[in-house]
A = this chain, B = another copy of it.
Amino acid sequence: MDEFKLIDQFFAGRGTLRDDVRIGIGDDAAVARWDEDYELVIATDTICEGTHFLPGAPPHALGHRCLAVNLSDLAAMGAEPLWCTLALSLPEAEPDWVGRFADGFFALANRFQTALIGGDTIRGPLAMTVTVHGRVTPGRAVCRDGAREGDLIYVTGKPGMAAAGLAALREFGANADAGSESVRRFLYPEPRIMEGRALAGLAAAMIDVSDGLMVDATRMLAASGFGARMDIGNLPPVEYAVNDVQGLTLNGGDDYELCFALPPECEPELRKRVADWPCPVTGIGAVTRNTDIVWCINGQPCNTVTAQYEHFS
């Protein structure tokens, strides 16, 4: 696990506890009391030039991305988005750039009926922090720790595709094929809000895949206290001419897909619900009592000795 994730441990379980907080630090989002009908779901994520996106990245795509990565956290809890705030740090106040950034931001916000209710714009290195607020029926937020022995494990979309797009952008820069699926997936990650909401009350555990399928599935299983036998052989192929497609699938990040565990008796209901989804949903394993996690491809063990995806640096 990367050293910056470890820093979170300086903040978890410390300070004031309040009984109006249902779920605090440690999941994709926090859950707090709201009214009789709903609980409030809150998440925050920063993206920063050089760590999460390349210098010169198109402002419209950044406006989309900074909100999308946060909406993805709401999706992973099964929540419906409501409002967001935006803290924007800019090296210079350039109206053209900001206008295109705002267009990308609002295009996504409007699709998910998310109101921008506050913000702060400062001079500083290029970075954006969004905080999103959503709601969920009381007790229906899907946490990371609910997977149990025998549950089936699934993932949406095509893990590794966004990392393939990033690889293309790094290799070909402005000459990369902007219309290719992989580049679009990297530049415009799609938060799986509808899918996440459909899984609330059905999935036993869920996480969004932002740091790579292997790392994030491991987080979910570790939080649940179980292991798994995984097989990625049925995943849709990643569109990119590299030798290490398996490495991209396991360790490529920035996908913002949903990985979830499902009690096997819920499989027929899942099949019904996914019928109208725009993305594939692939079974990739089953939860085991043993806390080891074994990764295979078509029954053959994978080489999993690969570095964790750190976006890029």
Contact = CB atoms under 8 A, between A and B. Distances in A.
A288 interface: no
Interface string A14-26: 1111101100110
Contact of A35 (B25, B35, B48, B131): B35
Interface in A15-72: 15-18, 20-21, 24-25, 29-30, 32, 34-36, 40, 42-46, 48-52
B125 A15 contact: no
Q: Among A7, A34, A109, A125, find the residue whose CB has the most chain B CB atoms closer than 10 A.
A: A7
Nearest to A70: B120
A34 B6 CA distance: 34
A300 interface: no
A122 B40 CA distance: 25
A6 B93 CA distance: 9
B85 A44 contact: yes
B44 A11 contact: no
B20 A122 contact: no
A83 B30 contact: yes
Given A11-B102, A106-B14, A127-B125, A30 B117 contact: yes
Copies of this chain, count: 2
A303 interface: no
A53 to B, nearest CB: 11
A82 B125 contact: no
A46 B86 CA distance: 10
A217 to B, nearest CB: 20
| A: contact size bracket | 35 or more
B51 A83 contact: no
B125 A32 contact: no
Interface string A99-122: 100100110011001111111111
A90 interface: yes
25 contacts: A4-B90, A4-B93, A7-B88, A7-B98, A8-B119, A10-B99, A15-B110, A15-B116, A16-B116, A18-B113, A21-B117, A24-B116, A25-B119, A32-B133, A34-B35, A42-B83, A42-B118, A42-B133, A44-B86, A44-B87, A44-B119, A46-B87, A48-B124, A52-B122, A123-B313
Please give me the 8 A-B residue pairs with the lowest Cβ-Cβ distance, nearest first: A48-B124, A30-B117, A129-B129, A3-B93, A131-B131, A125-B125, A44-B85, A7-B121
